[in-house]
Amino acid sequence: MGDFNHFGIPENNLRAAEQSAQRKRRHKYHTYVPSRKEVATLEATELRSILTGWMCNAAIEIIPSRTQIAQVRSVLLGRPDVSQLSELLSMCDCYINGE
């Protein structure tokens, strides 16, 4: 898996999510899945916004599984600023545990 892998979400699903969100304008669906590289390198505030959207408001075609969020958590743990990511790690833990 390369740095730009979107945690196993197929490109077709990403495109379908965008199309679905365009058709359903009443509700604002999140249609972006971060790459592994982005999770490893983006600033914490920007990353929190992206991950919150993906976990809490994703179009059905890209709703993450618990396994995918566990992979996100694993990438976060490898960051040099991991001590500053407690809120993101907690959010991932809650998702993984179904809370």
Bridge partners, residue 58, by sequence: 30
Q: 18-33 b/e with 16+ CB inside 10 Å = b?
A: eeebeeeeeeebbbbb
pLDDT surpasses 90 at 2 = no
Q: pLDDT higher for 26 or 94?
A: 94
Identity of the amino acid at 11: E
Q: Give the model confidence (pLDDT) of 28-86 as tens digits.
A: 778 889 999 999 999 999 999 999 999 999 988 999 999 999 999 999 999 999 999 99
Q: How confident is the model at residue 99 (pLDDT cuts 50, 70, 90)?
A: confident
**Residue-by-residue DSSP string for 36-93:** HHHHHHS-HHHHHHHHHHHHHHB-GGGPPPHHHHHHHHHHHHTSTTGGG-HHHHHHHH
Report the chain's C-alpha Rg in angstroms.
13
State the pTM of this model.
0.84
- For residue 4, name the pLDDT band (cuts at 50, 70, 90): low
